[in-house]
Amino acid sequence: MPGRSTSRLTPAVRPEKPMTSPPMLTYFARHTDKLDIDVVSRQALWDRQLIAVHYPHSKAGTLDLDATDNASLDPSDYAGSARGAIRALNDLSRDGGYIYAEYAGQDCLVGVVERGTPIVRLASAWGSRYGHAGRPTVLKTLQLSKVKRISKADSAAIVVGRPRMGTLQKWPRAGKLIENLVNGVRSEQTIVALTTDLQEVLCAEFLRLPAVEALGLPRLVHQLLPIGRTMRHIDLLGLAADGRRLFAQVTHYSLADAGKSSPS
């Protein structure tokens, strides 16, 4: 109607919550002789600061000498451990991650794969380990950045808890260790800064001290099995000074919360 004003209500717009990226995980990359690539390809990985997986076989696990090697980036085109490695490569490409990488005949590298780093196929050639020397192949690679070189001597304490098998694997037990190395963060000299493997070694050595008996703890004389590994609920199995067996589990809590280990 004339002279009547109208107003339009504008719905309130809620500000969108900023999207936060998940924290980057740590991975262990292993470039041993079993990668079976020629010297030129191996040196290229080192010089260009790349991590790589090979896995040339088909989904059936075979190598067709009359066809090209498997260059797919789809995990479903692989079988067994190859499928897991290609899946880890894709996760790393998408989400980024901190890397500790070993190279046959070289020192080690730590670095970071930035989020969204593309997987690049690198034309390479087989080595002689499996009798296919010179055959063309393809490596699936990711570029490292913020790279630091770690000598074999300095890496000894770092890799004590590394994954024991596989070309590329997530390494949750590394904690913040590799991230701090990459970012130049000096870790505090505390128990928390040690990996679980090193905490287990530290506790085993503590139990060897004569003073532990005054604390009411058994004194370790001999280890019967390697520390940690895959024993369920037991990190240390040994003989105590009184001849009885000692079973211990290493837990990062106060004694009041975690209890004390005692010989059986």
- In the chain the domains, ranked by start, together with CATH numbers, are 25-183 (3.10.590), 196-258 (no CATH)
pLDDT tens digits, 187-234 = 666 666 566 777 788 888 888 999 888 888 899 988 888 887 666 778
Query: How high is the pLDDT of residue 83?
Result: 95
Strands 120-125 and 136-143: antiparallel
CB-facing half-sphere around the CA of 240: CA atoms within 13 A: 17
| 14 compared with 7, residue with greater pLDDT | 14
Q: Is the confidence at residue 127, as pLDDT, over 90?
A: yes
Query: How high is the pLDDT of residue 248?
Result: 85
**What confidence tier does 235 reach under pLDDT thresholds 50, 70, 90?**
confident
Strand-pair partners of 111:
99
Average predicted confidence (pLDDT) for the chain: 84
Angstrom CA distances, 86 to 7, 69, 71, 241, stand at: 59, 15, 11, 50
How far apart are the C-alpha atoms of 69 and 124, rounded to whole Å?
11
Note the pTM of the prediction, 2 decimals. Answer: 0.70
| 257 compared with 52, residue with greater pLDDT | 52
**What confidence tier does 118 reach under pLDDT thresholds 50, 70, 90?**
very high
Q: Mean pLDDT, to the nearest integer, of 31-50?
A: 94
Q: Under a CB-based contact definition with an 8 Å cutoff, are residues 56 and 41 in contact?
A: no
Q: Mean pLDDT, to the nearest integer, of 56-80?
A: 92
